[in-house]
Structure 1
Amino acid sequence: MEDWWTVQSMLVSWIMNTIEPTLRSTVTYMENAKELWEDFRERFSVVNGLRIQQLKADLADCKQQGMTMVAYFGKLKTLWDELANYEQIPRCSCGGCKCDIASKLEKRREEERVHQFLMGLDDVSYGTVRSNVLAVDPLPSLNRVYATLVQEERMKTITRSKEERGEVMGHVVQAGLKTKGRPDPKDKSMVCSHCGKTGHDGKSCFQIIGHPEWWGERARKEGGTNGRGQQRSGTSAGRGRGGMVRANIAH
């Protein structure tokens, strides 16, 4: 009897330490583990039908919708494990069954999970991979399908990173070509002592040092000279055929 009460006290302490703290006051003076457990069962036992229906509805609505493959599969796995606690596979109780029906039912359940997993994938990103997996006979295991899709996700991530780097480099090159050969913007507060215009000083005045190649028609209209002090001709200074050839070469 002493050993029996020792075990009872140990079991009661385990139950008391695992329940909600707010419920301990209602079972403070119970010393028998069976009576304590029966009291909880009568107060909190509910029918599982509503929870099973809710879990199946959550599985039907579970879609990837931009989530990573790990997050999407983890969400499904949580729902599958909880549903399996309510809907357990029946086992043979007669002892004379030799068809191994339990393993066949388990395989059918796994195939159903594979279909649920594939149905929730994003069509744009994984539509081709899903078709390839469904074309395999027999259908691969759930873990194998998950590993295949994780590899596909990694390949898409690498390809996307390369494309983004290429676009960035293209923008940099275009920006460099647009600004190539043109002077840096000057301070508007500067006033030239030679021509009286703002934005440059006397040392960088085009009327003294000559107009550059990109100045175009403005050099001829303003009567400017080139870098050697000679008058620019209409053919070479204009933005005509020669200017277009230089632009094509730069592009």
Structure 2
Amino acid sequence: MAAESENIIGDKPHSSGGDEKKTHSLNDLNASDNPGNIITQVQLRKDAPELEDWWTVQSMIILWILNTIEPSLRTTVTYAKNAKTLWEDIKERFSVTNGPRIQQLKPDLTRCKQEGASMAAYYGKLKILWDELANCDQIPKCTCGGCKCSIGSQLEKRREEEKVHQLLMGLNDVSYATMRSSILATDPLPSLNRVYMMLIQEESVKTITKSADERGLIVGLVAHVGNKARRGGEHGEKAVTCSKCGKNGHDVKECFQIVGYPEWWGDRPRHEGRGIGRED
């Protein structure tokens, strides 16, 4: 009976050595804990100047967000005093994968060609399509935190290789066929930025060469015209000789000795009749 009473009353575990062991809990209070203890020096105040600055910044961010929304859509956006709340509402409603738009963008990328445009203008058209496609068809990312296969970086690399192929396939065949074949034969493919810089340099070389050829053509044309003028006489007349008078610059059908001298011909022979075109 005494043993049973001891078991009921003695509810704390005892060690063989007589030392007590207590299980620690988050709700334990020490003997030094009391209501007057100061846990932190920061005190919550409703009229703190930082709070007023915070609300000012919030209002500014909200206005920035609203001003980037089309007026017809702005009225459908929920009004919020907190920028995060507003942004989450917009994200939930408009961040939706657009299947039909993706199907439209991919053929647009295939049809995008340089067609005589500068390299910068051509790349700019592709960049707009790439950015829109990236927004509509985002690459999935690991969320478990334990991924070791780097699938995200591999997908990013594959998408960049697709951009390189699209850039090369749209180039002018006549001007860049050789360089395109050279880049495609490289293993691994250069980065998109590297390919773009190579094409810009090639465009610059072709522009300089074309300008030099055009200058040579102009000089040759001027020389040809000058030689022709010198062969034709001082006034660029035809290099023909009249069989009647033996002079250059006209044929027998135009010779004044046959058709008559005009009125303005000052040294016409006296024995000749009146020149053509002269009034009686």
2:168 corresponding residue in structure 1: 118
Correspondence for 1:68? 118
Counting aligned pairs with the same residue, the percent is: 54
* 1:101-250 matches, cutoff 5 A: 101-180=151-230, 182-184=233-235, 190-195=264-269
Q: Distance in 2 between matches of 1:39 and 1:137?
A: 44
Separation of aligned partners in 1, 2:143 and 2:126: 31
Tell me, yes or no, if the aligned pair for 2:230 and 2:236 is still in contact at 8 Å. no
Matched residues, number: 195
Q: Conserved in 1, the CA contact under 8 Å of 2:160 and 2:191?
A: yes
1:16 CA drift (Å):
3.7
* AA aligned opposite 2:207: T
Cα distance between partner residues in 2 of 1:134 and 1:165? 34
Q: 1:8 touches 1:32 (CA, 8 Å); kept in 2?
A: no
Q: CA deviation at 1:18?
A: 3.2
2:24 is matched with: none
* Whole-angstrom CA distance in 2 between matches of 1:36 and 1:87: 20
* Greater RCO, CA 8 A, separation 6+: 1
Whose helix proportion is higher, 1 or 2? 1
Which of the two has higher C-alpha Rg?
2
Distance across 1 between alignment mates of 2:188 and 2:91: 47
TM-score relative to the length of structure 2: 0.59
Segments of structure 1 that go 5 or more residues without pairing to the other structure are: 199-251
Cα distance between partner residues in 2 of 1:183 and 1:14: 76
Quote the Cα distance in structure 1 between the aligned partners of 2:153 and 2:87.
38
Partner of 2:241: none
When residues 90 and 176 of structure 1 are mapped into structure 2, their CA distance, relative to the original with a 3 A threshold, is same
CA contact (8 A) 1:69 1:150 kept: yes
| Contact 1:111 1:139 (8 Å CA) reproduced | yes
Gaps of 5+ in 2: 1-45, 238-261, 276-280
Separation in structure 2 between the aligned mates of residue 171 and residue 49 of structure 1, nearest angstrom: 59
Q: Contact 1:63–1:72 at 8 Å: present in 2 too? A: yes
| TM-superposed deviation, 1:30 | 4.3
Change in Cα spacing, 1:189 to 1:136, as seen in structure 2 (3 Å) is farther
Change (3 A) 1:189 1:26: farther
Residue matched to 2:133: 83
Distance of 2:200 and 2:119 partners within structure 1: 6
Query: Is residue 56 from structure 1 mapped to residue 140 from structure 2 by the alignment?
Result: no
Once superposed, what is the RMSD of the aligned Cα atoms?
3.4
CA distance in 2, matches of 1:51, 1:156: 37
C-alpha displacement of 1:94: 1.9
